[in-house]
Structure 1
Amino acid sequence: MEILVCVKRVPDTAENEFELNSAGNDLDRDDLVYSVNEWDNYAVEEAIQIVDNVGGSVTVIAVGDDESEEVLRREMAMGANNGILLSDDAFVASDGKGIATILKAEIEKGSYDLIMTGAQADEGAGQVGGMLAAMLDMPYASLVNKIEPGDGKIIVGREIEGGNQEMNEVQLPCVVSIQTGINEPRYVGIRGIRKVASVDIPVKGAGDLGIDAGSVGDAGAKTKRVDYFVPDMGDGAEMLEGSTGEIIEKLIEKLKAKGGL
């Protein structure tokens, strides 16, 4: 089975303290620590496990700048066979539709049975997987937490309202968005990273993909972020400060005081 997994380089929520930029329309990203999007990491692990069981290969693909190559190499060190970087100044500030358009152009140049994305990335919109499936005219399943490969199809499980599990048969080729918890992503050691350090990762721009630069990036974006702010605390709200452990202790004490525990 030929599997393509879309991955993204995002700020690491465990390693950063986030502040807004001076314009108030984005995070201040100058000194942030980045890593692979958590949902995407689960998708790569699931793809590797499927290929280990039924054969085939896993390709990871990212839309981003040159630094996104480190995310691709990490996932290749994890076990993906190939990487592709889609990078062009024209891609900067693409919205969900723009990202899906860029990915579609490259996907149509290959032959994939299964295309996987994370359920969401750092913007949290969860749009790209569904848009990509619609553009490719492929079946789509979101929030997938179980995959059973079959002959020309897969059985996918989805957690739905009330904690119930929904099982669906989906014909290949298809697109699925992976939920966290579907597996336990494997540890990536320094030996694996060194092994793929010199592997060639092709970089493709708008011209290589046959994309009109005006249809993606800021010029082609149908949605734009106009404000980004920390909401004011309502009456009775209190912001707990300190380390994670200290905040937990303070919260427990407050819950006890109010009869919650």
Structure 2
Amino acid sequence: MPAIVVLVKNVPDTWSTKTLNPDYTLHREGVDEVIDEINEYAVEQALRIKEANPGFEVVALTAGPSRAQEALRKALAMGADRAILLSDDALAGSDVLGTAWALTNAINAVGDVQLIVTGNASSDGAMGALPGILAEYRQIPSLTNLLSVSVADGVVSGVKDAPEGTYELRANLPALISVTEKTDKPRFPNFKGIMAAKKAEITVLDVAAIGVAAENVGLAHAATAVTAASERPSRDGGEMVYTDGAERIYQFLTDEKLI
């Protein structure tokens, strides 16, 4: 059966305090984690494409420790058909290149994958590079930052959001797409879906099972490295202007050499 693979990720909750480990990786132990919100939009699009194209199955895929299953179970509760967890200590600290390499090999284990759906950027890394790198590894077209998407007759099409405007894109399957939070709002899982997701069996793979050598992933073998980090400066309350507003703003912009 042809598959739509949707990538999901367990990330620290938006309201949690984020800190770094001594090696500059994000500290995750003991932090409340949830499915990345943008991934819910990706799951929604995958499900809508399946509903419009009977015969597809939706497979949720993530890489991470065992607790990452929570993101997969949210995808299952929404309506995904099955889920795969790629979990191996060798993956810890992988940069975007290593992560994409591991994921593309995990996708190979799914079978006949016609479409890969991702969010445009994760909330913890916020790089937005993985969709393009993954498409390059797989040598398939990528339609990124989509506001809307549809699939018909072996062709995926969508409207791309860009700073200078919007573009209408299309490509033959197989392909990869990434979506933004401006696409259709994610559905809320019903009680039946939640209970089924709790009982669902999740396939767990390690790097050996997907044919990835440990020396090609992980922090020690990353092609990029963070060499320094500092806390974001605190923001003050700013200045409130009650009278002579236009004049004060003009003077401020002049002093800052903005006009």
Q: Which runs of 5+ in 2 are unaligned?
A: 250-259
CA distance in 2 between partners of 1:169 and 1:161 (Å): 19
Instruction: Name 1:94's counterpart in structure 2.
Output: 94
Deviation per residue, 1:103-128 (Å, 9 max, x gap)? 11122231111101111111111111
Q: What residue identity is the alignment partner of 2:240?
A: K
Q: What residue identity is the alignment partner of 2:80?
A: A
Instruction: Name 2:44's counterpart in structure 1.
Output: 45
Instruction: Name 1:4's counterpart in structure 2.
Output: 5
Alignment of 1:1-261 (within 5 A): 2-13=3-14, 15-18=15-18, 20-21=19-20, 23=22, 25-55=24-54, 56-109=56-109, 110-121=111-122, 122-162=124-164, 164-232=165-233, 238-240=235-237, 254=240, 259=245
CA distance in 2 between partners of 1:165 and 1:86 (Å): 35
TM-score with structure 1 setting the length: 0.85
Q: Tell me if structure 1 keeps the 8 A contact 2:105–2:210.
A: yes
CA distance in 1 between partners of 2:205 and 2:244 (Å): 58
Q: Tell me if structure 1 keeps the 8 A contact 2:38–2:120.
A: yes
C-alpha displacement at 1:38, in angstroms? 1.6
Q: What residue identity is the alignment partner of 1:259?
A: G
CA spacing shift, 1:257–1:172, aligned 2, 3 Å: farther
Deviation per residue, 1:224-257 (Å, 9 max, x gap)? 2222322446xxxx424xxxxxxxxxx7x83667
Q: Which runs of 5+ in 1 are unaligned?
A: 241-250
Number of paired residues?
A: 243
CA distance in 2 between partners of 1:38 and 1:206 (Å): 27
C-alpha displacement at 1:223, in angstroms? 0.9
CA distance in 2 between partners of 1:257 and 1:173 (Å): 61
CA spacing shift, 1:32–1:190, aligned 2, 3 Å: farther
Q: Give the match's secondary structure for 1:40.
A: helix
Q: Give the match's secondary structure for 1:177.
A: strand
Higher deviation after alignment, 145-154 or 132-141 = 145-154
Q: What residue identity is the alignment partner of 2:69?
A: E
CA distance in 1 between partners of 2:67 and 2:243 (Å): 48
Q: CA RMSD in A?
A: 2.2
C-alpha displacement at 1:26, in angstroms? 4.5
Q: Tell me if structure 2 keeps the 8 A contact 1:3–1:116.
A: yes
Deviation per residue, 1:65-118 (Å, 9 max, x gap)? 000011101110011111000000101101101111111112223111110111
Higher deviation after alignment, 93-102 or 28-37 = 28-37
CA distance in 2 between partners of 1:191 and 1:229 (Å): 46
C-alpha displacement at 1:31, in angstroms? 3.7
Q: What residue identity is the alignment partner of 2:226?
A: R
